[in-house]
Chains A and B, each alone.
Chain A
Amino acid sequence: MTRHPGLLAAITRHISSVLGSVTELGEAMTAVAQAAGPRPLRRADLAELRPLVAEVLRRHDGLIAGTGVVLAPGVLADASRWIEWWWADGGGGISQLDVDLDPGSAEFYDYTTTEWYREPARAGRQWVTGPYVDYICTHKYTLTLSAPVLHAGGFLGVAGADILADRVERLVLPGLARLGRPAVLTSGAGRVIASNSASIPPGVVLARQEGSAGLRRVAGPGGGVADPGGEGAVLPWVLLAAPVRDETLDYG
């Protein structure tokens, strides 16, 4: 059987690289908490993160749509909830989201219920959310990469980065096209992230899509991709493709 681990491995490297930066940002946040010692953390302390945030935005220019840390309620002394989030302004600088989440009015956007916040908190590890319609921040079809920020056994919040789904598609589609047969990349939940087939558009749930039954898994976590570092484990994406002709013969 022909395997195509290279394709998934390539996109996994991109995502892992961003996850690495997210983790680095989380560690920097932990260091800020460490440095504060017993003194309560304040918003001003987060200024320490800015050079790294700018560096991360530069490092993944063209891939990430924003990055920062989102703090658990009660972590800061001068804000009950806080999102320290930045994006490249397109002119070489960075712009900050100056969030003022009034707890009385925050009902509309309670970030503690989002998958990208809740799951790293629950699982205690990196998490890839989506693709999903992010109608609060990017207003686009988005993937959010996030990692828990821990300090002294406590949960401080998450560090994260947004990637627009069409950026991932742009990275993956040339490879899918080269396969020369219907092939798709899906999330762990089975949602199509990228596809070279018009009959299986992005956003659909593969298992429910007519015409998807013939697709076979060619690469994914736990097989297909050699990933000794284990980095891919956090990325449960699966590459599926229609069988090649000789394989079809095998199936009679």
Chain B
Amino acid sequence: MAPSALTTVRARTLFTPLDTGGRADTVTRRLTTAIRLGLLLDGERLPAESDLAGQLGVATVTLREALAALRTMGLVETRRGRGGGSFVRAPREPHPARLERPLRLLSAHELRDIGDHRAAIAGAAAGLAAERALPSEIASLHEHAKRLRVATALTDRRRADARLHIEIAAAAQSPRLTREEMDLWAEIGDLVWLPMAGEDPGPVADEHAALIGAIEGQQPGRARELAERHVAAETARLLDLRLSLPQR
């Protein structure tokens, strides 16, 4: 793979020029999304700073700021010298204890607000999917729910769960809601299953089954309500865990 240009199918839209202004945190979020969702692979080499800055349409200094933030998060590693550059460090199976740190960085206020945002997106997507999904899309939802049911590792559960919710937004026929789900899962996805570590995922799988049932049954009101309740329960579990951490 040519190291100079990052042009994978996954990276293509992730590295289109930012149209929301070239702020470092926007760049950081875009790259975090790519890594967290597995669109950028572990060990993948990022283009040279000037090239990547050019692709994203931001100043090199802005990109450097974003890369520094990603290094702090442990998502990018920069090696010097020959064969050096910035490399993706995709989180494999994060130890629950390690994930407590990012959770600690979020206030209960922020967790609640992210939960509200997720519930709004997931609820709207589920309602529209119930109106618009075709049988082929319903089949895909069942398929992803099945994958989630058999996933055991935290990373696998997160991926399958994210994929299921992204597919629901896609079934709503809305590229914007789909993008919102992708961004939200990139932001908070690592944490969603954290409170469930070591616990039976069965009840969550049952919630998904009921939600898909409402979408399949073309019951928009019920689908929206189930999706909102599902996200609210996740938010409550996260808040519970956050508040149970020793206060410092």
Asked if A98 and B7 make an inter-chain contact with CB atoms under 8 angstroms apart, the answer reads yes
Binary flags per residue of B33-70, CB closer than 8 Å to A gives 1, else 0? 00001110110100000000000000000000000000
In the assembled complex, A237 has its CB within 8 A of some CB on chain B: no
How far, in Å, is B198 (CB) from chain A's closest CB? 23
Asked if B134 and A98 make an inter-chain contact with CB atoms under 8 angstroms apart, the answer reads no
In the assembled complex, A107 has its CB within 8 A of some CB on chain B: yes
Asked if B174 and A133 make an inter-chain contact with CB atoms under 8 angstroms apart, the answer reads yes
Distance of A102 Cα from B43 Cα, bound (Å): 11
Q: Which residue of B lies closest to A115 (CB)?
A: B136
Distance of A133 Cα from B179 Cα, bound (Å): 10
In the assembled complex, A189 has its CB within 8 A of some CB on chain B: yes
In the assembled complex, A212 has its CB within 8 A of some CB on chain B: no
- Picked from A100, A109, A190, A205, the residue with its CB within 8 Å of the CB of B1 is A100
Q: Which residue of A lies closest to B13 (CB)?
A: A139
* Among B143, B159, B173: residue with most chain A CB under 10 A: B173
A90-135 contacts to B (CB < 8 Å): 95-100, 102, 105, 107-109, 113, 115, 131-133, 135
In the assembled complex, A137 has its CB within 8 A of some CB on chain B: yes
In the complex with contacts A133-B178, A135-B175, A205-B134, A100-B8 CB distance below 8 A:
yes
Asked if A107 and B159 make an inter-chain contact with CB atoms under 8 angstroms apart, the answer reads yes
- Picked from A83, A132, A203, the residue with its CB within 8 Å of the CB of B9 is A83
Asked if B13 and A137 make an inter-chain contact with CB atoms under 8 angstroms apart, the answer reads yes
By size class, the interface of chain A is 20 to 34
Q: In the complex, how many residues of chain B place their beta carbon closer than 8 angstroms to a beta carbon of chain A?
A: 36
Distance of A194 Cα from B14 Cα, bound (Å): 28
In the assembled complex, A141 has its CB within 8 A of some CB on chain B: yes
Question: Across the interface, which residues of A come within 8 angstroms of B211, CB to CB?
Answer: none
How far, in Å, is B243 (CB) from chain A's closest CB? 33
Distance of A133 Cα from B170 Cα, bound (Å): 5
In the assembled complex, B163 has its CB within 8 A of some CB on chain A: yes
Asked if A204 and B134 make an inter-chain contact with CB atoms under 8 angstroms apart, the answer reads no
Question: Across the interface, which residues of B come within 8 angstroms of A132, CB to CB?
Answer: 137, 170, 173
In the assembled complex, A178 has its CB within 8 A of some CB on chain B: no
In the assembled complex, B166 has its CB within 8 A of some CB on chain A: yes
Question: Across the interface, which residues of B come within 8 angstroms of A98, CB to CB?
Answer: 1-2, 5-8
In the assembled complex, A140 has its CB within 8 A of some CB on chain B: yes
Asked if B169 and A133 make an inter-chain contact with CB atoms under 8 angstroms apart, the answer reads yes
Distance of A98 Cα from B10 Cα, bound (Å): 9
Binary flags per residue of B181-199, CB closer than 8 Å to A gives 1, else 0? 0100000000000000000
Distance of A132 Cα from B132 Cα, bound (Å): 11
How far, in Å, is A251 (CB) from chain B's closest CB? 28
In the assembled complex, A136 has its CB within 8 A of some CB on chain B: yes
Residues of A within 8 A of B (CB): 83, 85, 87, 95-100, 102, 105, 107-109, 113, 115, 131-133, 135-141, 189-191, 203-205, 208
Q: Can you list 14 A-B contacts with CB-CB less than 8 angstroms, sorted by A residue number?
A: A100-B41, A108-B39, A109-B9, A109-B39, A113-B143, A133-B169, A133-B175, A135-B170, A138-B13, A139-B13, A189-B136, A203-B132, A203-B173, A205-B131
Shortest 7 CB-CB distances between A and B: which pairs? A203-B173, A133-B170, A108-B38, A97-B9, A139-B13, A98-B7, A135-B178
